[in-house]
Structure 1
Amino acid sequence: MARKDLQLVLLLLLGIYDASANREAECIEVGYARSAGSILHQGFDATKEELLQKWAHEDAEGVPTFSGLTQVLKNVTRTGELLESTSKTILGMIRKTRVGKRCPEDWLLKGLEKHVIPLMNIDKTLSEDLGLVMSFRCMVGSPYPNVDGTCVNQESPDLGAIGSKFLRLQPAAAGKDGFSLRESVSGEKTLPSARAVANLLRKHLKRPPVTGIFGEWGHFIQRDSFSIPESPWVEGTDCCATPDVEDCAPIYLAEDDPDHSTIQCLSFKRSAKAQAILGHRETLSLVSTYLDATPVYGPTNEVAFSRKTGYFGYLKAPEKEEEATDGDKKCAAPENLEGCFQLAEGDDWLESLRLLFVLEHNRIVDALAEINPHFDDSLLYNEARRITIAEYNHITFNEYLPVLMGEELVKKHSLNPGAEGPAAGYIKEVNPGILSSFSVASYRNPSMHTEWRAKWGPTEILESSHYNAVREDPYQDLLAMDIQRGRDQGLVGYLTWRRFCDNTHSYNTWEDLEKNLSGDLVKDLKELYQNEIDDLDPLVALLEKPDEEDGGIVGKTFTCLMADQFARLKTGNRLFWEHDSSMLTVEQRDFIKTSTLAKLLCRNTLVHAVPANSFLPPSDTNPLVTCAEIPEDDISAWKDTSLIEKMKEVKAAKEGEEKAKEEDKEKTSKKEEL
């Protein structure tokens, strides 16, 4: 094609794009203007009574059971259902107008969303009846985080707590009706199956030079920071058998798929509704967003209490068999934790990071009890939990993130221990919530499992609620589920994120993608997505080439999104161990700084030697270190004599009172004698 012809085509395309953008802006304004006033209340009133009757029937029948949801979260999902149904009704009314019928529902919905209308502003009484106006009783100044995440931020106690909504860095990109799964930008095409995309990504995925425990750590962080509930209205539903049921979005396997002979469909269920305002669908998390070791301690008080022994501060742990001798077992750490624990025959504990941290908690309990014999069960448990969480965070930010993102980038964003400046401290205005872009895309790294087969044995990586529908299946495609979950939550496509994270280059053509993706991958993507470059799913970023300057094992898009997420988890956490607000002493923080994965493995497993940085294989720059070389812990910074001194004061005061009474008696006796 001649240069002038190419320029003409580009100008024509730009003109079409500008016209489309202008039309979208006009439709958003139509949605905003038409949804104000009486039409808003008409739409709400037309929806409310019907749903109230439906809810009463559900409660009477006990179906759905809203399994896994507290009463408050059950009402949050019902509020989401009410706001979504109201939004649909309002859009239907607008579409009947002369100007409204010229606009797609999604554009009109963006206009409605601009009003930012919560249920409280429409029906205060119903909002209060549903318990949406919550109050919190926080113990001011407590150094111990609540297991459900409440009260960590004492000015806004619900930030980061169970039920927190996912945050967005980009507007939702739903289907044309504003509520269905993301669709192709071309009205004439469809997005490729999430399974086909997952297979293509796996084809090009290469394992980075890290140990196996590095991938497990990523899965642990995922289970710790978010768990997405599936819609309760498809509870017990086989979405493969009933694909047209609302909130079902099954993933089909093509006939040429290598697993088609054994499984033809993955039962995918949409996320529970939890939007707080009229507008697009949003969802919530069933665990606190903080890095507080939820897989170890549990997400709620009930679960936390069930995991305690109830005495001496211990967590329930497997009974140890007789002391193992050399040769009894061969611990595979840090490649995996197989053979690393002294488990009795028939014990159903999995050799996993959860067990590793349970044993670390109990080890710390023993050390605390030795120097603080006056500590009771509650104090031992809470102090050991506090220390274990601090160790886990230090290892994550000091060892895990530099390998994942690159050491220089970690320092650039003040994520490294010892960082200085305002971004390194606690900022109460920072929302520690989980980004949608993190929860269904950038939390992944190339070392993590993308699938699981039952024949491989039991695993903890499927514990999160968003894998419930396939947990009992003989095969689970985690990558396909994540891709479909991204579409479910209206996550914008890959190019939007690439442009968001890198403004040094233009990304408009397939050739542009070869700046950060391999040529063979780009060719395969172009064929799979039928030449629609804007249709690419965000998880394509998993295969970006790592930046040579930054280092790390993932590319610029994911490092950009993770930097934002981990900054929130550090800066927005009042009790993060480095902050003054954590109330740890200087000596206690110095102890936490000695925490390493190598030490964690040596103290709690049967391993004899590990790489200095156990997230990386041994090398000249990362030598093997024997466990005997690792210094013994000095936990004396936690020696607490305050209670003993108080008891001495009380005893002295009591003895003083008794002595005074004796003296008074003597004086009285002498007077009587006189």
Structure 2
Amino acid sequence: MVAVPVMVGAVLWTASQLTGLVNYSREGQPIGTPRILPSFYAKLQSGALRQEATPWDGSGIPPLFLMSEMSGKASSNFPKVTPEDVAGSLNYVKDVLGRSLRLELSIENANVRVLEGSAEHGQLIASYPKKESLRRQGNGLLAARASLHLTHTLCKRYGYKGDKCVEFLSTIDLGNTEVGKHCDWKKGGENEIITSANLLCHKNSPYRMEDGSCNNPNNPALGKTYTGYRRLLFPNYADGIQQMRRSVSGNPLPSARHISASLSPDSDRPDQVTTLSLMQWTQFVEHDLAHTPSATMLNKGASITCCRDDGFPLAPRYQHPSCSHIEIPSNDPFYQKHRQQCMNYVRSITTIRPGCTFGPTEQINQATHFLDASMIYGSDAETQRTVRSYDGGKLKVKEQEVETSTGKRTVTFFPVSSEPLDICQGISIKGHHCYHGGDSRANEHPQLTALHTLWLREHNRLADELSKLNPHWKDEKLFQEARRIVIGQIQHITYSDWLPNVIGTEYYEKLFSENEEQGTEYNDDIDPSTSNEFATAAIRFARSMMESSIKLYEENRKVNDTIFLRNHYNQPVVIEKPGHFDSLIRGMATQNSQQMDLLFTEDVTSLLWMEDKPYGMDVISLDIQRGRDHGLQPYNKYRELCGLPLAKTFDDLLDVMPKSVVEKLQKLYSSVNDIDLYVGGMSELPNGKIKNIGDFNKKYQKNKSEKSLVGPTFQCIIAEQMLRARKADRFFYDRAQEDSRSVFTPSQIAELKKASLARIFCDNGNEVLRMQQKVFEKPSESNPMNFCNDKTNIPSMNLSPWVETF
């Protein structure tokens, strides 16, 4: 990995010294003075900006959509801070460089590192930081540690404590300091945005930038790769700045693994309607909108581990400050037989806060914040260059001959990665091979790899067709036009097929119904950035829908073989075995997913990334710990934000949770205000199963049979994010015809609306002959199997509207 300048190494020692200086609100109240965003509903109806959020009456847009960007707002009540105070704090942090160097040197000399082929290696691959993330890691840590220092100096000077102190710090501009110069954007005058000088935008270009920049003409850095996540509520850190959240009593929260083991026993409960393709598409959307990297050593970029190889925590002298390992109880139902007491968790990379201020830490997103197929093409220019062939507009592939019913034919797969240690477990040990594409997470497991491969082939198929229609088009034009179409197809499938299934058709129509003839209205006042709550909790609901046994189906939909998830983490070449690729595709459209609930397969709760040992890691524990790492408020706060009554006792949760689950939560948490967002959201019943939700039910959910996969809180957070991803995207595929250079023509939009995942399966499998039109649902009388050459029941795009005329 690439080294980071040593001057930022100073923050390491400081991290272990400057903690516990601020007593954060024990009730978890959001702090800061929020700026109210324009009401989406008011904007749609009248174009006017609403200045204040009003209580929700069950109609229109829920309160969540009226919330602010919680980035802090200057208050005239706070004193002005001198440049000397700011510079002094940053210089103090850098002055401890020598101690941090010795700490990392001690760790390296002891050979404390992630071992190749271990489950920790799989964990590192999933959150592998890119070069730019590593560079920003130093600046983010400097700002955070300097903020901690200011709590001990400025806050003490002015008599500010707790919430008031953190609110004050969030108004202090990093300005022209050494760190502030690296801000993507900061406030200038009253309505002025200053962006970093390296952003060069071509406003008249019809094509997206690789890194998501320049989408918003007024703020080119908004939604860009390597910027921080947006927040729905101000962060909740134990010290106000970076220390992981604690109980409202001040005690540590219960172990994430203890919660997981107590709530989530392995149980086989298939969903009777939903197929594995919906679970897989959820992960596809997640990877497009979010990629959170984990910290590494600052001086050399080496990996960090927090547990000894024998399963015990490292001695304090070898514990890196970025470690926050998960304690495994001695009586754990699974890990006790393997004598494991420590599960590795390395904290996420932080970045400079939005608005370029001091204050609580924010985590970095190394994906773009737009639904723009960045997991296929890469989320920066460097990655995109490596996946392009620069021949006929195509992506790089490797070719292979396969047997079909009509003889041999040549098909394509991703090329083998030239840096396998970064993305593939056990490359030296067992000779594994991994693929190189736009996102290394495409190698995680076979069905995800197959889905990525389908879209690789779709891009190249489109490039070939466009070349035939427009022989004069050069490589760049062919690539960009094929990319535009792929993004449009993915957006249409996501909003027309996937999202209504997840949040429910009624809820979807309330928020997304527009005049289709006019198209989506672009709103440059809306921040498109992915929310931390969406990326870290809500979109992760589909983990519970995963299957341990991946069935392989013949064309007649009979099972001919089974492979196990636990044996194929980061071993993607299994899709190249004879017959496997098509069998995996049919399986995604045929095999029942597991129900969305608190029951997870053992393959993800104890065997995740299992490779060289008879055990792996636990995805639930990691997701809970990540929420605490990111300073997410407790579940109760988001429940209230989304229109449900604030729970005062555990019994108040019975309006949306089963009694048996509430009883378990009461045993695990000392207060209803301690429940982690991920745990609370996963504990809620899907809306169609909620029988008594009080006022919320009377005002909004009049149709109790309304089907959704998630409960009210995750429904609300997911819908909020997807609404932003559509309204704040200047290049959204069905955008209203205002600027013909940046949107599709009406005839092109009509063709894009024919897109379906069924057609993608048909056109890009090796030899898939039949498919149901709605692949997120099981084949049935209302969703029958059709032959792939039936263009009526499985429509196919006509690319003639892309013929360029002169």
User: How far has the Cα of 1:197 moved from its partner?
Assistant: 2.2
TM-aligned CA distance change 1:20 to 1:368, over 3 Å: closer
1:88 aligns with 2:148: yes
Say which is worse superposed, 563-572 or 247-256, in terms of deviation. Answer: 247-256
Task: Indicate the SS of the match to 1:625.
Answer: strand
1:529 aligns with 2:669: yes
Say which is worse superposed, 46-55 or 309-318, in terms of deviation. Answer: 46-55
**Among residues 118, 142, 145, which one is paired with 2:173 in the alignment?**
118
Say which is worse superposed, 543-552 or 515-524, in terms of deviation. Answer: 543-552
Q: Is the 8 A contact 1:48 1:82 kept in 2?
A: no
**Among residues 316, 324, 327, which one is paired with 2:396 in the alignment?**
316
> What does residue 509 of structure 1 align with?
649
State the Cα deviation string for residues 292-315 of structure 1 (Å, max 9, x = none): 112211122221121112211111
TM-aligned CA distance change 1:348 to 1:164, over 3 Å: closer
CA distance in 1, matches of 2:405, 2:351: 54
CA distance in 2, matches of 1:328, 1:480: 47
> What does residue 558 of structure 1 align with?
714
User: How far has the Cα of 1:374 moved from its partner?
Assistant: 1.1
User: How far has the Cα of 1:435 moved from its partner?
Assistant: 0.5
CA distance in 2, matches of 1:586, 1:42: 57
**Among residues 250, 266, 274, which one is paired with 2:325 in the alignment?**
250
User: How far has the Cα of 1:20 moved from its partner?
Assistant: 8.1
User: How far has the Cα of 1:56 moved from its partner?
Assistant: 13
> What does residue 381 of structure 2 align with?
301
Q: How does 1:542-621 map to 2 (within 5 A)?
A: 542-548=682-688, 549=703, 550-579=706-735, 580=737, 581=739, 582-605=742-765, 606-621=767-782
> What does residue 293 of structure 2 align with?
229
CA distance in 2, matches of 1:391, 1:236: 38
Task: Indicate the SS of the match to 1:610.
Answer: strand
CA distance in 2, matches of 1:553, 1:526: 25
Task: Indicate the SS of the match to 1:309.
Answer: coil
Q: Return the letter of the residue paired with 1:253.
A: I
**Among residues 288, 295, 309, which one is paired with 2:368 in the alignment?**
288
Q: How does 1:456-471 map to 2 (within 5 A)?
A: 456-458=568-570
Q: Return the letter of the residue paired with 1:127.
A: G
CA distance in 2, matches of 1:270, 1:91: 22
CA distance in 1, matches of 2:668, 2:361: 28
Task: Indicate the SS of the match to 1:221.
Answer: helix
TM-aligned CA distance change 1:38 to 1:494, over 3 Å: closer
User: How far has the Cα of 1:80 moved from its partner?
Assistant: 2.2
TM-aligned CA distance change 1:128 to 1:56, over 3 Å: farther
> What does residue 278 of structure 1 align with?
358
Q: Is the 8 A contact 2:294 2:349 kept in 1?
A: yes
Q: Is the 8 A contact 1:174 1:180 kept in 2?
A: yes
Q: Is the 8 A contact 1:356 1:604 kept in 2?
A: yes
Q: Return the letter of the residue paired with 1:297.
A: Y
CA distance in 1, matches of 2:184, 2:540: 36
Structure 1 or 2: more helix by fraction: 1
User: How far has the Cα of 1:537 moved from its partner?
Assistant: 0.6
1:398 aligns with 2:474: no
Q: Is the 8 A contact 2:306 2:324 kept in 1?
A: yes
CA distance in 1, matches of 2:484, 2:415: 29
Task: Indicate the SS of the match to 1:203.
Answer: coil
User: How far has the Cα of 1:556 moved from its partner?
Assistant: 0.7
Q: Is the 8 A contact 2:293 2:366 kept in 1?
A: yes
TM-aligned CA distance change 1:200 to 1:640, over 3 Å: farther
| TM-score, scaled relative to structure 1 | 0.78
Q: Return the letter of the residue paired with 2:524.
A: K
TM-aligned CA distance change 1:620 to 1:271, over 3 Å: same
**Among residues 230, 241, 256, which one is paired with 1:167 in the alignment?**
230
**Among residues 452, 455, 461, which one is paired with 2:567 in the alignment?**
455
State the Cα deviation string for residues 495-543 of structure 1 (Å, max 9, x = none): 111111124x45222222111111111111111114x111101112123
Q: Return the letter of the residue paired with 1:555.
A: G
Q: How does 1:241-390 map to 2 (within 5 A)?
A: 241=314, 244-257=319-332, 258-262=334-338, 263-276=340-353, 277-325=357-405, 351-390=449-488
Q: Return the letter of the residue paired with 2:527.
A: N
TM-aligned CA distance change 1:78 to 1:134, over 3 Å: farther
Q: Return the letter of the residue paired with 1:537.
A: D
CA distance in 2, matches of 1:247, 1:434: 24
State the Cα deviation string for residues 613-637 of structure 1 (Å, max 9, x = none): 1011112322222212234432101
TM-aligned CA distance change 1:534 to 1:125, over 3 Å: closer
State the Cα deviation string for residues 541-573 of structure 1 (Å, max 9, x = none): 123112223421101101111111001110110
Across the two proteins, how many residue pairs are aligned to each other? 587
Higher Rg = 1
> What does residue 79 of structure 1 align with?
139
CA distance in 2, matches of 1:55, 1:399: 56
Q: Return the letter of the residue paired with 2:639.
A: R
TM-aligned CA distance change 1:471 to 1:310, over 3 Å: farther
> What does residue 113 of structure 2 align with?
none
Task: Indicate the SS of the match to 2:758.
Answer: helix
**Among residues 180, 188, 194, which one is paired with 1:127 in the alignment?**
180
TM-aligned CA distance change 1:583 to 1:94, over 3 Å: closer
CA distance in 2, matches of 1:440, 1:199: 20
> What does residue 618 of structure 2 align with?
477
Q: Is the 8 A contact 1:287 1:299 kept in 2?
A: yes
State the Cα deviation string for residues 390-443 of structure 1 (Å, max 9, x = none): 00110000000011111111111116893869xx41111111101011011111
Q: Return the letter of the residue paired with 2:400.
A: K
Q: Return the letter of the residue paired with 2:626.
A: R
TM-aligned CA distance change 1:140 to 1:177, over 3 Å: closer
CA distance in 1, matches of 2:245, 2:139: 23
Q: Is the 8 A contact 1:323 1:342 kept in 2?
A: no
Task: Indicate the SS of the match to 2:331.
Answer: coil
CA distance in 2, matches of 1:154, 1:480: 41
Q: Is the 8 A contact 2:216 2:730 kept in 1?
A: yes
Q: Is the 8 A contact 1:541 1:555 kept in 2?
A: yes
TM-aligned CA distance change 1:286 to 1:367, over 3 Å: same
TM-aligned CA distance change 1:360 to 1:56, over 3 Å: farther
**Among residues 210, 214, 226, which one is paired with 1:151 in the alignment?**
214
TM-aligned CA distance change 1:203 to 1:109, over 3 Å: farther
Q: Is the 8 A contact 1:215 1:445 kept in 2?
A: no
TM-aligned CA distance change 1:403 to 1:34, over 3 Å: closer
User: How far has the Cα of 1:113 moved from its partner?
Assistant: 3.3
1:638 aligns with 2:779: no
TM-aligned CA distance change 1:398 to 1:300, over 3 Å: same
Q: Is the 8 A contact 2:289 2:368 kept in 1?
A: yes
RMSD over aligned CA atoms reads 3.9
Q: Return the letter of the residue paired with 1:239.
A: C
> What does residue 540 of structure 2 align with?
444
CA distance in 1, matches of 2:219, 2:182: 22
CA distance in 1, matches of 2:26, 2:263: 35
User: How far has the Cα of 1:179 moved from its partner?
Assistant: 2.0
| TM-score, scaled relative to structure 2 | 0.66
Q: Is the 8 A contact 2:26 2:248 kept in 1?
A: no
Q: Which ranges in structure 1 are unaligned for 5 or more consecutive residues?
A: 1-17, 26-30, 330-339, 461-469, 643-674
Q: Return the letter of the residue paired with 1:314.
A: K
Q: Return the letter of the residue paired with 2:672.
A: I
CA distance in 2, matches of 1:227, 1:416: 31
Percentage of identical aligned residues? 26
CA distance in 1, matches of 2:166, 2:270: 41
Q: Return the letter of the residue paired with 2:151.
A: L
